Each structure stands twice: as structure tokens, then as C-alpha cells.
Amino acid sequence: QVQLVQSGAEVKKPGASVRVSCKASGYTFTGYYMHWVRQAPGQGLEWMGWINPNSGGTNYAQDFQGRVTMTRDTSISTAYMELSSLRSDDTAVYYCARDRYSGSSLLDYWGQGTLVTVSS
């Protein structure tokens, strides 16, 4: 069965960076784009971008251009999302999610979420 297992909660200071991992199992990792979506406390869902695990190609949402970097390690079927220059309003749960049709942005499986808290 398809599973996406994310790394644990993080607490960071403003200005720092955070890297969240997402380990995939139960399917061919390189066959499906991986998206990252975040959700601030009590708020809605915000798309951050995607990575093509096969080529490493990425597409970032405009709001995160210059601050987000998505990478992958195909040898361990893991995707990573790094967000830099953290601010208090980056406090959120960060989700990875698989794109069913690679580029369609239809998200059929989601990780459990990683809470990132930015606080001085």
C-alpha cells in the first residue's frame, strides 16, 4: 500500500532554515510527482510546489520562489522540502502529497504532516 511518512516536528528560530523529509513506499517513487502543501494553524491549504522525482525538475509557487528548495534522493525514495529565512508566519503543518497523474496536481496520497514552529 502507498505510504508517505514524514519527518518529525521542528522548532526553529526566525531567519533559520528547515528541511522536511517525506519517505515514499508501496509504489515506484520516480513515477509520480511529489507536491508540498502547507496549512497554518486554523487556516486553509496552501500549495508550495512540486518536484519530479525522476528528473529532479521543480515548479515552485510564486509566493515561495527564492525561499523554497525541493530535492529528492531516489536511492531511498525520499523527497525533501527546505524552506529558508523562516518567519513566524511560516508556522504551519507541512504535507507532502503524491500527484496521481504527474503534473495534473490531483493529490491522491498524503503524508501525515510535519509541524514546523517558528519562534524566537
Partner 1 sequence: DIQMTQSPSTLSASVGDRVTITCRASQRISSWLAWYQQKPGKAPKLLIYKASSLESGVPSRFSGSGSGTEFTLTISSLQPDDFATYYCQQYNSYSPFTFGPGTKVDIK
Interface residues toward partner 1, by CB under 8 A: 44-47, 61-62, 95, 97, 100, 103-108, 110-113
Q: Is the dihedral of CA 54, 48, 63, 115 positive or negative?
A: negative
CB of 15 to partner 1, least distance (A): 27
Report residue 53: phi and psi, to 5°. Answer: -65, -20
CB of 65 to partner 1, least distance (A): 11
Dist. CA 14–CA 22, nearest whole Å: 23
Residue with cell 534522493: 73
Pick between residue 42 and residue 89 the one whose CB is nearest to partner 1: 42
Dist. CA 98–CA 120, nearest whole Å: 33
Pick between residue 74 and residue 104 the one whose CB is nearest to partner 1: 104
CB of 14 to partner 1, least distance (A): 26
